[in-house]
Amino acid sequence: MRKFFGATFFLLLIVAGCNNKSKPDSQSKDKKEIVTHPFDADSAFFYVKAQTDFGPRVPASEAHAACAAFLSTKMAQFCDTVIVQPFIAKTYDGNRFNSQNIIGSFAPEKEKRILLAAHWDSRHIADMDPDLEKRKLPIDGANDGASGVGVLIELARQLQLKNPEIGVDIIFFDAEDYGTPSGENIAGDWWCLGSQHWSRNPHRENYQADYGILLDMVGASYATFYHEGYSVFYASQVLSSVWGIANRLGYGNHFLNKRANPITDDHYYVNMITKVPMINIIHQDNESNTGFFPPWHTHNDNISVIDKNTLQAVGKVLLEVIYDEK
C-alpha cells in the first residue's frame, strides 16, 4: 500500500524537519485546559460498517458506485457544501477508472481552515494474505480506508450540531489503494491517485488551509499511532499539538510519542504539492512484519477488527483540535 524508506534517509528527514514552519503552536496549545466534546462511537461504527456492507470499494465496481452515492448523500446531509470531483485514475496495470474525490465543507467562506481527509476506496487485491489462493481477490478494507471515513462522517455530524469557529474541509480521496502488488517495482507514482489529482487540482482556486490531518487505519483495538516520518518533516508543530491533546485526553496508549518510518500516503502529496502542512494519524506496528497492523492488505481486514473505543479516541481528539481553534 505504501512505501518505506531506509534508516539513513529517515534520519535526514527528521533533522530537516526541525526547520519546518507548520501550525499550530504546540507549546501554547498543550497548556490550554482540555474540554471534552461528544463523539458517538456507535454512530462512527455504523458508518464504517455501512461502507463494508457494500463490499470491496474497488474502482469500477458496483460497490464502489453505491458507496460513492452513500458518502455524497451523507456529506450533503451534514456539511454546508459538497463537491464531487471526478477524475480518471490511470493505474499501474494500464487501466483507466472513473474515480471521484468527495469534498464536504463547513463555512467555505472563512479564510482560517483545517483540512481533514481519509481514503474511501479499498484494495483490489489481498497481496499480503497468508492464503495464496485468495491474494487476487479484493478486500473489505474495514480498517484500511473505511475506519477513517467513518470517523470523519460522524465528525461532520457533530460539526453540524455545533458549528466550529473556523472553516473545515473534509475530503474522501479515491483510488488511494490501487497501487502495485507487493514485490513488484513498476516505475511511477501509482499510490494515492485521488490525493495526487486533488493536490494539483484543488476544489477551489488557490485553496489553502492552515494545516491538515489525514486518517488511515484508525479503528483497530490495538492501534498505535507514532510520529510518522513525513508528518515530522512537514508538520512537526501540528503533530506535537495533536499528540499533546491526545495525551491530555488520556489516549496515550494509542498516540505514542515515538518516531516511526515515513509512509507514502495521501498526506505526502498534499504536503509536496499544495504546501499545506499535513500530518498522518496512521496505525504503525513495530512488531509486525509489514510495519502496519497485521490484517493489512488481507481478507482479515473486515468489520471484526474495528473497535469502537479506538474510533472514539480518534474522534474526540479531532473534535478537541477543531473546537480549540479560533
Residue tagged 493505474 (cell numbers): 91
Over the stretch 21-34, which tens digit does the pLDDT of each residue have?
444 444 444 455 66
pLDDT at 32: 59
- The C-alpha R_g of the chain, in whole angstroms, comes to 18
Q: Output the nine-digit C-alpha cell for 193.
A: 491517485
Over the stretch 260-314, which tens digit does the pLDDT of each residue have?
999 999 999 999 999 999 999 999 998 899 999 999 999 999 999 999 999 999 9
Asked whether residue 265 is assigned to any structural domain, the reply reads yes
Query: Does residue 81 surpass a pLDDT of 70?
Result: yes
Asked whether residue 2 is assigned to any structural domain, the reply reads no
pLDDT at 298: 98
Looking at the structure of the chain, the number of domains it has is 1
pLDDT at 36: 76
CA pair distance 123, 125, nearest whole angstrom: 6
One-character DSSP codes across 114-146: EEEEEE----S--TT-S-GGGTTS----IIIII
Asked whether residue 317 is assigned to any structural domain, the reply reads yes
pLDDT at 25: 46
Cis peptide before 24, with omega less than 30 degrees from 0? yes
One-character DSSP codes across 202-262: -SSTT---SEEEEEES--BTT--EEE-HHHHHHHHHHHHHHHHHHHHTT-TTTEEEEE---
Question: What integer is the mean pLDDT of 70-94?
Answer: 98
Nearest Cα to Cα of residue 126 among 325, 323, 322, 300:
300
Least trusted range by pLDDT, from 19-23, 43-47, 64-68, 91-95: 19-23
What CATH number is given to the structural domain containing 194?
A: 3.40.630.10
Range of the domain at 291: 7-323
Asked whether residue 196 is assigned to any structural domain, the reply reads yes
The pLDDT mean for the chain works out to: 92
Asked whether residue 63 is assigned to any structural domain, the reply reads yes
Asked whether residue 1 is assigned to any structural domain, the reply reads no
For residue 132, CA distances in Å to 126, 127, 184, 302 come to 9, 8, 16, 18
Least trusted range by pLDDT, from 10-14, 44-48, 135-139, 183-187: 10-14
Question: What integer is the mean pLDDT of 199-216?
Answer: 97
Global pTM exceeds 0.85:
yes
Q: Output the nine-digit C-alpha cell for 275.
A: 504546501
> Quick one: pLDDT band at residue 19, thresholds 50, 70, 90?
very low
Asked whether residue 242 is assigned to any structural domain, the reply reads yes
CA pair distance 37, 34, nearest whole angstrom: 9
Termini Cα distance of the chain: 36
